[in-house]
A and B are shown apart, each in its own frame.
Chain A
Amino acid sequence: MSKDMYATALKNTLTEIKKMCPDIKYSFIFTKDGSIITGDGEADPLMKKTVHSFQSLAEKAVAIGGLDALSVNGENGKLHISRVKDMYMVVTTSPRANTTYLLSITNVIVPTVLKLLENIVPTPLKFMPSQQLVVDTLTGFFTGDNVQVDGVHLKEWSQHLDGKDVSKVEIETIGGKKTQRGVKEINDPKRQGQGLILIPEKTCRALKAKKGELVKVKPIAS
Chain B
Amino acid sequence: MPAKNELEEKEPAKNKLEEKIENLHVNLENIKTKEGIIGYILRDPKSASVDIKDPSKIIDYAILSSTVLNSGEYMMNAFKLGRINHIVVEGRNVKVLSLTIGDHRISVFMNKKVDHNIVYKDLHLK
A16 to chain B, nearest CB (A): 22
Query: Among residues 30 to 75 in chain B, which have CB atoms less than 8 Å away from a CB atom of chain A?
Result: 57, 60-61, 63-64, 67-68, 71-72, 74-75
Asked if B88 lies at the interface with its beta carbon under 8 angstroms from chain A, I say: yes
Chain A residues lying within 8 Å of B83, measured Cβ to Cβ, are 74-75
B120 to chain A, nearest CB (A): 9
Q: How far is the CA of A50 from the CA of B76 in the complex (A)?
A: 9
Contact string against A for B residues 77-93, beta-carbon threshold 8 Å, 1 for contact and 0 otherwise: 01111111111111111
Residue of B63, B82, B88 touching A76 (CB-CB under 8 A): B82
Q: How many residues of B contact A (CB 8 A)?
A: 32
Contact string against A for B residues 2-26, beta-carbon threshold 8 Å, 1 for contact and 0 otherwise: 0000000000000000000000000
Residue of A56, A66, A69, A74 touching B76 (CB-CB under 8 A): A74
Q: How far is the CA of A70 from the CA of B61 in the complex (A)?
A: 16
Among A57-65, A163-171, A186-194, A205-213, the one that faces the other chain is: A57-65
B81 touches A68 (CB 8 A): no
Asked if A107 lies at the interface with its beta carbon under 8 angstroms from chain B, I say: no
How many A-B contacts if CB must be within 8 Å? 103
Residue of A nearest to B61 (CB): A63
Listed by A's residue number, 6 A-B pairs whose Cβ atoms lie within 8 Å are A60-B67, A64-B89, A64-B94, A64-B109, A74-B84, A76-B80
Given contacts A53-B78, A68-B91, 17 further A-B contacts (CB under 8 A): A46-B78, A53-B71, A56-B71, A61-B64, A63-B60, A65-B92, A67-B90, A69-B88, A72-B72, A72-B76, A72-B81, A73-B86, A74-B76, A74-B81, A75-B82, A77-B81, A78-B81
| B contact residues vs A (CB 8 Å cutoff) | 57, 60-61, 63-64, 67-68, 71-72, 74-76, 78-96, 109
